[in-house]
A and B are shown apart, each in its own frame.
Chain A
Amino acid sequence: MSAFNAIGEDREIDRNEFTPGIEPQATWCPGCGDFGVLKALKQALPEVGLTPEEVLTVTGIGCSGKLNSYLDTYGFHTIHGRSLPVARAAKLANDGLEVIAAGGDGDGYGIGGNHFMHTARENHDMTYIVFNNEVFGLTKGQTSPTSPKGHTSKTTPHGNAKSPIRPLSLALTSGATYIARTAAVNPNQAKEIIKEAIEHDGFAHIDFLTQCPTWNKDARQYVPYVDVQESDDYDFDVTDRQEAQEMMFETENELYEGTVLTGRYFVDERPSYQDQKKELGEMPEEPLAERYFDDDAEWERSYDLLDRHK
Chain B
Amino acid sequence: MSDHELIWRIAGGSGDGIDSTSQNFAKALMRSGLDVFTHRHYPSRIRGGHTYVEIRAAGHDVQSRGDGYNFLLSLGDSFARNPQEEAYYGNEEIKPLAENLDDLREGGIIVYDSGLVSEEDVEELNLEERAEENDWHVFPIDLRSLAKEHGREVMRNTAGVGVTAALLEMDLEHIEDLMEDAMPEKILEPNLTILHDAYEMVQEDYEFEHDLRIPEGEHHEEQALLSGSNAIAYGSIDAGCRFIAGYPMTPWTDVFTIMSQHLPDMGGISEQVEDEIAAAALAVGASHAGVKAMSGSSGGGFALMSEPLGLAEMTETPIVLLESMRAGPSTGMPTKPEQGDLEFTLYTSQGDSARVVFAPGTIAEAYEQTRLAFHIAYEYQIPTIIIYDQKLSGENTNVPVSFFDRDPEPSLGSVATEDEIAEMPHDTSGKFHRFQHDVDDGVSPRSLPGQKGGRYLATGNEHTPEGHISEDADNRVAQMDRRMAKLEAIREELETEHESNQTYFGDETADFGIITWGSSQGAVEEAVARLNDQGHAVKAVGVSDMMPFPENEITEFIESVDQAMVVEMNATAQFRGLIQKELGRYGDKLTSLLKYNGNPFEPAEIVEGYEVNVDGGDAEPSAQVRIEPAAGD
Contact between A53 and B429, CB atoms less than 8 A apart: no
Nearest opposing residue in chain B for A310, CB measure: B224
Smallest CB separation, A305 vs chain B (Å): 7
Q: Give complex CA distance A201, B533 in Å.
A: 70
Contact between A281 and B264, CB atoms less than 8 A apart: yes
**From B269, B289, B429, contact of A20 by CB (8 A):** B429
Binds B, one of A153-161, A216-224, A258-266, A291-299: A291-299
Q: Mark A241-281, 1 if CB is under 8 A from B, else 0.
A: 00000000000000000000000000000000000010001
**From A3, A85, A282, contact of B278 by CB (8 A):** A85
Interface status of B274 (Cβ within 8 A of chain A): yes
In chain A between 1 and 30, which residues have their CB closer than 8 angstroms to a CB of chain B? 3-7, 19-24
Interface residue total, chain A, C-beta cutoff 8 A: 65
Contact between B469 and A66, CB atoms less than 8 A apart: yes
In chain A between 57 and 93, which residues have their CB closer than 8 angstroms to a CB of chain B? 58, 61, 66, 68-69, 72-79, 82, 84-93
Contact between B448 and A4, CB atoms less than 8 A apart: yes
Interface status of A200 (Cβ within 8 A of chain B): no
Q: Give complex CA distance A166, B541 in Å.
A: 60
Interface size bracket, B side: 35 or more
Contact between A301 and B243, CB atoms less than 8 A apart: no
Set of chain B residues within 8 Å of A302, measured between Cβ atoms: 233-235, 237-238, 404
Q: Give complex CA distance A75, B235 in Å.
A: 32
Q: Give complex CA distance A76, B447 in Å.
A: 13
**From B264, B273, B275, contact of A282 by CB (8 A):** B264
Contact between B418 and A5, CB atoms less than 8 A apart: yes
Nearest opposing residue in chain B for A288, CB measure: B291
Contact between A306 and B404, CB atoms less than 8 A apart: yes
Q: Give complex CA distance A202, B271 in Å.
A: 18
Contact between B469 and A24, CB atoms less than 8 A apart: yes
Q: Give complex CA distance A232, B225 in Å.
A: 73
Smallest CB separation, B459 vs chain A (Å): 4
Set of chain A residues within 8 Å of B279, measured between Cβ atoms: 85
In chain B between 409 and 451, which residues have their CB closer than 8 angstroms to a CB of chain A? 410-412, 417-418, 427-431, 448-451
Contact between B274 and A114, CB atoms less than 8 A apart: yes
> Which residue, of A7, A96, A303, has the highest number of chain B Cβ atoms within 10 A?
A303
Q: Give complex CA distance A292, B268 in Å.
A: 12
Q: Give complex CA distance A53, B450 in Å.
A: 5
Binds A, one of B96-104, B307-315, B565-573: B307-315
Nearest opposing residue in chain A for B234, CB measure: A302
Contact between A3 and B418, CB atoms less than 8 A apart: yes
**From A6, A69, A93, A96, contact of B468 by CB (8 A):** A69
Set of chain A residues within 8 Å of B405, measured between Cβ atoms: 303
Q: Give complex CA distance A44, B226 in Å.
A: 54
Contact between A283 and B461, CB atoms less than 8 A apart: no
Interface status of B457 (Cβ within 8 A of chain A): yes
Nearest opposing residue in chain B for A61, CB measure: B460
In chain B between 228 and 247, which residues have their CB closer than 8 angstroms to a CB of chain A? 230, 233-235, 237-238, 240, 242-243, 245
Binds A, one of B280-288, B478-486, B607-615: B280-288
Q: Give complex CA distance A115, B245 in Å.
A: 14
Nearest opposing residue in chain A for B268, CB measure: A288
Smallest CB separation, B389 vs chain A (Å): 21
**From B240, B274, B288, B450, contact of A292 by CB (8 A):** B240
Q: Give complex CA distance A52, B277 in Å.
A: 29
Interface status of B626 (Cβ within 8 A of chain A): no
Contact between B450 and A96, CB atoms less than 8 A apart: yes
Smallest CB separation, B272 vs chain A (Å): 11
Set of chain A residues within 8 Å of B267, measured between Cβ atoms: 284, 288, 291
Interface status of A94 (Cβ within 8 A of chain B): yes
Interface status of B456 (Cβ within 8 A of chain A): yes
Contact between A74 and B269, CB atoms less than 8 A apart: no
Interface status of A97 (Cβ within 8 A of chain B): yes
> Which residue, of A6, A19, A66, A301, has the highest number of chain B Cβ atoms within 10 A?
A301
A82 and B308 in contact, given A89-B286, A289-B448, A300-B266 (Cβ under 8 angstroms): yes
Contact between B224 and A306, CB atoms less than 8 A apart: yes
Q: Give complex CA distance A73, B223 in Å.
A: 52
Contact between B410 and A297, CB atoms less than 8 A apart: yes
Set of chain A residues within 8 Å of B262, measured between Cβ atoms: 305
Interface status of B222 (Cβ within 8 A of chain A): yes
Q: Mark B370-410, 1 if CB is under 8 A from A, else 0.
A: 00000000000000000000000000000001001111101
Set of chain A residues within 8 Å of B412, measured between Cβ atoms: 292
Smallest CB separation, B357 vs chain A (Å): 22
Q: Give complex CA distance A249, B506 in Å.
A: 74
Interface status of A180 (Cβ within 8 A of chain B): no
Q: Give complex CA distance A93, B308 in Å.
A: 18
Smallest CB separation, B478 vs chain A (Å): 17
**From B287, B291, B292, B427, contact of A22 by CB (8 A):** B427
Interface status of A54 (Cβ within 8 A of chain B): yes
In chain B between 466 and 520, which residues have their CB closer than 8 angstroms to a CB of chain A? 467-469
Contact between B428 and A77, CB atoms less than 8 A apart: no
A72 and B264 in contact, given A79-B307, A310-B224 (Cβ under 8 angstroms): no
Set of chain A residues within 8 Å of B450, measured between Cβ atoms: 3-4, 6-7, 53-54, 56, 74, 94, 96-97, 289
Set of chain A residues within 8 Å of B282, measured between Cβ atoms: 85-86, 88-89, 92
Contact between A82 and B277, CB atoms less than 8 A apart: yes
Q: Give complex CA distance A77, B468 in Å.
A: 10
**From A74, A92, A96, A309, contact of B286 by CB (8 A):** A92
Interface status of A39 (Cβ within 8 A of chain B): no
> Which residue, of B245, B269, B278, B450, has the highest number of chain A Cβ atoms within 10 A?
B450
Contact between B225 and A77, CB atoms less than 8 A apart: no
Q: Give complex CA distance A87, B268 in Å.
A: 18
Q: Give complex CA distance A54, B224 in Å.
A: 46
Set of chain A residues within 8 Å of B266, measured between Cβ atoms: 300
Set of chain A residues within 8 Å of B291, measured between Cβ atoms: 93-94, 288-289, 292
Interface status of B366 (Cβ within 8 A of chain A): no
Q: Give complex CA distance A289, B451 in Å.
A: 11
Q: Give complex CA distance A292, B223 in Å.
A: 32
Contact between B274 and A97, CB atoms less than 8 A apart: no
A77 and B401 in contact, given A289-B448, A300-B266 (Cβ under 8 angstroms): no
Contact between A21 and B264, CB atoms less than 8 A apart: no
Q: Give complex CA distance A283, B260 in Å.
A: 12
Contact between B290 and A93, CB atoms less than 8 A apart: yes
Contact between B311 and A89, CB atoms less than 8 A apart: no
Interface status of B293 (Cβ within 8 A of chain A): yes
Set of chain A residues within 8 Å of B245, measured between Cβ atoms: 85, 89
Set of chain B residues within 8 Å of A277, measured between Cβ atoms: 269
Set of chain A residues within 8 Å of B270, measured between Cβ atoms: 282
Q: Give complex CA distance A230, B468 in Å.
A: 40
Q: Give complex CA distance A24, B412 in Å.
A: 31
A23 and B268 in contact, given A53-B450, A292-B291 (Cβ under 8 angstroms): no
Set of chain B residues within 8 Å of A96, measured between Cβ atoms: 450
Set of chain A residues within 8 Å of B27, measured between Cβ atoms: 310
Interface status of B210 (Cβ within 8 A of chain A): no
Contact between A76 and B458, CB atoms less than 8 A apart: yes
Contact between A97 and B234, CB atoms less than 8 A apart: no
Nearest opposing residue in chain B for A290, CB measure: B290
Set of chain A residues within 8 Å of B230, measured between Cβ atoms: 309
22 pairs, CB–CB < 8 Å, chain A vs chain B: A3-B418, A3-B451, A53-B451, A53-B452, A56-B289, A72-B430, A73-B455, A74-B455, A75-B459, A76-B457, A77-B469, A84-B278, A85-B279, A85-B282, A92-B282, A93-B286, A94-B290, A281-B265, A288-B267, A289-B291, A301-B404, A303-B405
Chain A contact residues, CB within 8 Å of chain B:
3-7, 19-24, 52-54, 56, 58, 61, 66, 68-69, 72-79, 82, 84-94, 96-97, 114-115, 117-118, 277, 281-284, 288-289, 291-292, 297, 299-303, 305-306, 309-310
Besides A66-B469, A310-B27, 5 more A-B contacts (Cβ < 8 Å) are A5-B418, A78-B281, A115-B278, A282-B270, A310-B223
Can you list the 3 inter-chain pairs with the closest CB atoms, starting with the nearest? A21-B429, A89-B285, A302-B234
